[in-house]
Structure 1
């Protein structure tokens, strides 16, 4: 991976409030997760420790992304508890940065959370999904008909609709994201 000067990207980004205000898709789902999410005492102890690092973060995202409707509010709340400012960049408007953080070296999967220190050095990257959420979508995709089947598009659309509904309403799923991000931040 090329060395990235992260500070200019951070400065370019929107605040969480600006990102939410600009959303045209999935605002209700994102807001529901944000408002209902709760942390354990152990979580809060970790966030307090993370706050001592004085990190910031850059989020590559888009409002149409179902995974972002889950992960953005979870990581935003973690950041708030960790006294970590996040800035939001829309993926398709920032491909130069996105292409430095491809999933599996090939996919522009989002959201991607890039945690940086005050000098702009990358300290950790998380995203686009917790392992459990990845397993869930992999299982759901395996049940789809062949891509050339006449009903593939309709069934795929239904799978993604139901997936988004599930991940943005189930606190057990939210917990997998909290635990995955916590492990990354503690690592």
Structure 2
């Protein structure tokens, strides 16, 4: 069954209002945004989407989240280039929304939802590029019992591997661009 978020559309905030309202991590987020560099072929491909008047983007985010800080700037660059109207929902204020789009049973953000004009969800992305997310997927599969004595230790190791996969530079951003391109090409 496809999901519909028509009842939420128009209730979010503009991306710049989200950034302006950040109480933590604003400098880090804007730094990742400013460091973004387009591959010209991908930029041109996203510009082709400007003819699609039916697409909308709803992003669930919070300023405290490291994945939002790293990944939201890339998503914003993509939707800006594609001309897709975008609004952001603060997770803590919109639990009913995030609870429809859990990641492996958890509230993981950012969650990016592409919809049509009627609010039908056509595609979703997040919270991380697949390559970066893979250690968490493996951790969740291999450690189903949060009460296990070594659960926290293994979870910490998964997060360390995630940080290693993000790396220090902007290479991970290309993964997001490619994944969003694949998603949007299919809708």
- Indicate whether the TM-score tops 0.5: yes
Alignment CA distance shift 1:42-1:80 (3 Å)? same
Q: Kindly indicate whether the alpha-carbon contact (under 8 Å) linking 1:62 and 1:68 is maintained by their aligned counterparts in 2.
A: yes
Count, aligned residues: 179
Q: RMSD of the alignment, in Å?
A: 3.0
Q: Kindly indicate whether the alpha-carbon contact (under 8 Å) linking 2:131 and 2:165 is maintained by their aligned counterparts in 1.
A: no
**Distance apart, 1:65 and its partner CA:** 0.9
> Counterparts of 1:83-94 in structure 2 under 5 Å?
83-94=83-94
Partner of 2:10: helix, strand, or coil? helix
Match of 2:22 in 1: 23
Q: Kindly indicate whether the alpha-carbon contact (under 8 Å) linking 1:67 and 1:164 is maintained by their aligned counterparts in 2.
A: no
Alpha-carbon distance in 2 for matches of 1:31, 1:164: 19
Structure 2 residue runs without a partner (length 5+): 143-147
Normalised by the length of structure 2, the TM-score is 0.80
Alpha-carbon distance in 2 for matches of 1:19, 1:164: 25
Alpha-carbon distance in 1 for matches of 2:26, 2:158: 20
Alpha-carbon distance in 2 for matches of 1:84, 1:28: 25
Match of 2:31 in 1: 32
**Distance apart, 1:67 and its partner CA:** 0.7
Alpha-carbon distance in 1 for matches of 2:96, 2:138: 32
**Distance apart, 1:44 and its partner CA:** 1.3
Moved more, 122-131 or 161-170: 161-170
Deviations 1:111-164 (A, max 9, x none): 11111122222221111111111136679999xxxx857x95xx94x9869966
Match of 2:67 in 1: 67
Match of 1:49 in 2: 48
Alpha-carbon distance in 2 for matches of 1:10, 1:164: 33
